[in-house]
């Protein structure tokens, strides 16, 4: 009997669920999450993973307790451990109901995963969710990061990754999977509540497909996948452009003004990290200010941009950010450091484990740190930064990786060391995910 396409899609996303990981399947009781939970149970042996089921009771509907009981019954049917958390007194003053519920849900899932001993939380976002997310973010004026939509993985906490293996799976496929196996499902009435933007979009999506493209959902999801890859590339190029303008404790304003606008907005956002939180219109205003060649200052959320003496620097209004704590990296996974995510096991960079063995540590610089750029002699890290023009004011927020012996083998923004310069084909991949929330 041929394998069901839902299970085939899950096995094809095995890079998100490497052997030996422990996974919490986030299950609301709807068709998508029930299909994910059941498919994970069916494929757990092949994937080499441990599995538990987690349910978050938002407490927003009278029948929410019955939903939790329904999911508990599914976990029992599959022979899986079940964990539940009920949310209490959502604070909707800042984010609104949807935003507050989303933030609280992910926080609860992180707690449930820790309770279950899981290092992955799998959610059942499907191709339909991806298409809707792209349209909603574009309607709000997002940039390239918005078109990238929902990402396949991100850090949920320092030790727990959030993964979405169903982004290429259709809602029709998950419903068919549940029907074929006699898996009862429930439907959240909020999914059709016209007060919610996503529900309103969902209601008109069939008409949009009829008017524009019968494969609209597939087209939008495909565009998101390509945009996510290009977004990472653009971010890397923006960092390189920013690095080329670094001087002293700031950046050369005249050289920044020559950077292509598509990269300049990103470069300015990166430069402001830790001092201010500019939004898109601030970035456009600042780009125009640089192009004019004038001196002055621009107030930003959390701080300001100052152009004087031909240099741009960012200042904060508040106390300095706390020193980032060291994070241990025992092997592949997703690790959070200073608000950014280090992906180990995927990414554009590679490290030879014979030269830089696990466990790694991601941390800031320490007194006495030394680093050797491949093909050069070893020097004090500060001297390497000085030679590369990295301003002293930025060095405490630059991530570096040290190996099991404590030797620094990679520093963001510097040329590669011997472990990363010419790695073998089986070298482990890694990459720091960009932090571009202001453009998304």
pLDDT in tens, 389-402: 676 667 887 899 99
| CA dist., res. 19 & res. 54, Å (int) | 20
The three-state secondary structure class of 351 is strand
Residue 363 near residue 327 (C-beta atoms within 8 A): yes
Whole-number Cα distances in Å, 181 to 50, 75, 122, 171, 307 = 22, 15, 21, 16, 65
Q: What is the DSSP letter of 162?
A: E
Sign of the Cα torsion 200, 203, 208, 211 reads: negative
| CA dist., res. 425 & res. 16, Å (int) | 20
List alpha helices for 81-143, DSSP H. Answer: 96-116, 127-139
pLDDT exceeding 70 applies to what percent of the chain? 89
Mean pLDDT across 327-342: 86
Assess whether pLDDT exceeds 50 at residue 81: yes
Which comes out higher in pLDDT, residue 177 or 192?
A: 177
| CA dist., res. 4 & res. 207, Å (int) | 30
How far is CA 143 from its chain centroid? 16
When the pLDDT of each residue in the chain is averaged and rounded to a whole number, the result is 86
Q: What is the pLDDT of residue 77?
A: 95
Q: What CATH number should be reported for the domain whose range is 5-212?
A: 3.40.50.620
Residues of the chain with CATH 3.40.50.620: 5-212
Whole-number Cα distances in Å, 371 to 220, 385, 412 = 44, 10, 12
> Of 134-138, 145-149, 413-417, which range is least confident?
145-149
Assess whether pLDDT exceeds 50 at residue 439: no
Residue 35 near residue 10 (C-beta atoms within 8 A): no
Mean pLDDT across 258-277: 88
Q: What is the pLDDT of residue 192?
A: 64
Summarize pLDDT for 367-389 with one digit per residue, the tens: 999 999 988 999 999 999 888 76
User: Which of 125-129, 191-195, 201-205 is predicted most confidently?
Assistant: 125-129
Whole-number Cα distances in Å, 1 to 4, 43, 215 = 9, 16, 29
| CA dist., res. 397 & res. 393, Å (int) | 9
Count CA atoms within 13 Å of residue 86 on its CB side.
13
Q: What is the DSSP letter of 3?
A: P
Assess whether pLDDT exceeds 50 at residue 116: yes
Whole-number Cα distances in Å, 270 to 112, 327, 355 = 33, 22, 31
Q: What is the pLDDT of residue 61?
A: 58
Which comes out higher in pLDDT, residue 253 or 95?
A: 253
Residue with tokens 């606008």: 261
What are residue 439's phi and psi, to 5 degrees? -100, 5
Assess whether pLDDT exceeds 50 at residue 437: no
Count CA atoms within 13 Å of residue 321 on its CB side.
20
Mean pLDDT across 59-83: 85
Q: What global pTM score does this model have?
A: 0.64
Sign of the Cα torsion 205, 210, 215, 219 reads: negative
Q: What is the pLDDT of residue 275?
A: 81
Q: What is the pLDDT of residue 158?
A: 74
Strand order from edge to edge, sheet including 153-155: 82-86, 50-57, 22-26, 120-122, 161-163, 153-155
Structure tokens at 240: 């390189």
Assess whether pLDDT exceeds 70 at residue 59: no
| CA dist., res. 356 & res. 379, Å (int) | 18
């Amino acid at each position: 009997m041929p394998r069901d396409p839902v299970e085939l899609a899950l096995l094809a996303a095995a890079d998100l669920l490497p052997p030996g990981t422990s996974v919490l399947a986030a299950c609301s009781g709807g068709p998508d999450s029930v299909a994910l939970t059941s498919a994970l149970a069916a494929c757990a042996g092949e994937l080499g993973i441990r599995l538990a089921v987690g349910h978050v009771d938002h407490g927003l509907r009278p029948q929410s307790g019955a939903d939790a009981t329904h999911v508990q019954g599914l976990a029992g049917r599959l022979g899986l451990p079940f964990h539940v958390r009920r949310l209490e007194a959502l604070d909707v003053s800042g984010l609104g109901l949807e935003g507050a519920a989303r933030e609280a849900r992910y926080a609860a899932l992180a707690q449930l995963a820790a309770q279950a001993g899981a290092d992955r939380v799998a959610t059942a976002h499907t191709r339909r969710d991806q298409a809707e997310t792209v349209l909603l973010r574009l309607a709000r004026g997002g940039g390239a990061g918005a078109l990238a939509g929902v990402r396949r993985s991100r850090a949920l906490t320092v030790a727990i990754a959030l993964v979405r293996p169903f982004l290429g799976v259709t809602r029709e496929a998950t419903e068919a999977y549940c029907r074929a196996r006699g898996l009862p499902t429930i439907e959240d009435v909020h999914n059709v509540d016209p007060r919610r933007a996503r529900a309103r979009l969902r209601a008109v999506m069939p008409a949009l497909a009829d008017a524009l493209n019968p494969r609209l959902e597939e087209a939008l999801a495909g565009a998101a996948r390509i945009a996510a890859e290009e977004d990472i590339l653009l971010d890397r190029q923006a960092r390189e452009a920013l690095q080329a303008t670094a001087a002293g404790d700031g950046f050369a304003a005249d050289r920044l003004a020559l950077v292509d606008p598509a990269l300049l907005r990103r470069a300015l956002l990166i430069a402001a990290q830790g001092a201010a939180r500019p939004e898109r219109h601030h970035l456009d205003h600042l780009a125009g200010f640089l192009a004019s060649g004038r001196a002055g200052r621009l107030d930003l959320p959390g701080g300001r941009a100052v152009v004087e003496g031909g240099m741009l620097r960012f200042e904060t209004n508040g106390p300095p950010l706390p020193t980032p704590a060291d994070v241990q990296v025992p092997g592949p996974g997703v690790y959070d450091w200073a608000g950014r995510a280090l992906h180990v096991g995927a990414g554009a960079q590679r490290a030879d484990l014979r030269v830089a063995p696990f466990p790694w540590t991601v941390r800031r610089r320490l007194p006495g740190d030394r680093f050797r750029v491949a093909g050069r002699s070893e020097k004090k890290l500060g001297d390497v930064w000085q030679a590369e023009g990295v301003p002293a004011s930025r060095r405490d927020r630059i991530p570096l990786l040290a190996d099991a012996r404590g030797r620094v083998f990679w520093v963001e923004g510097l040329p590669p060391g011997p472990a990363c310069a010419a790695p073998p084909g089986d070298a482990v991949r890694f990459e720091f995910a960009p932090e571009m929330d202001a453009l998304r």
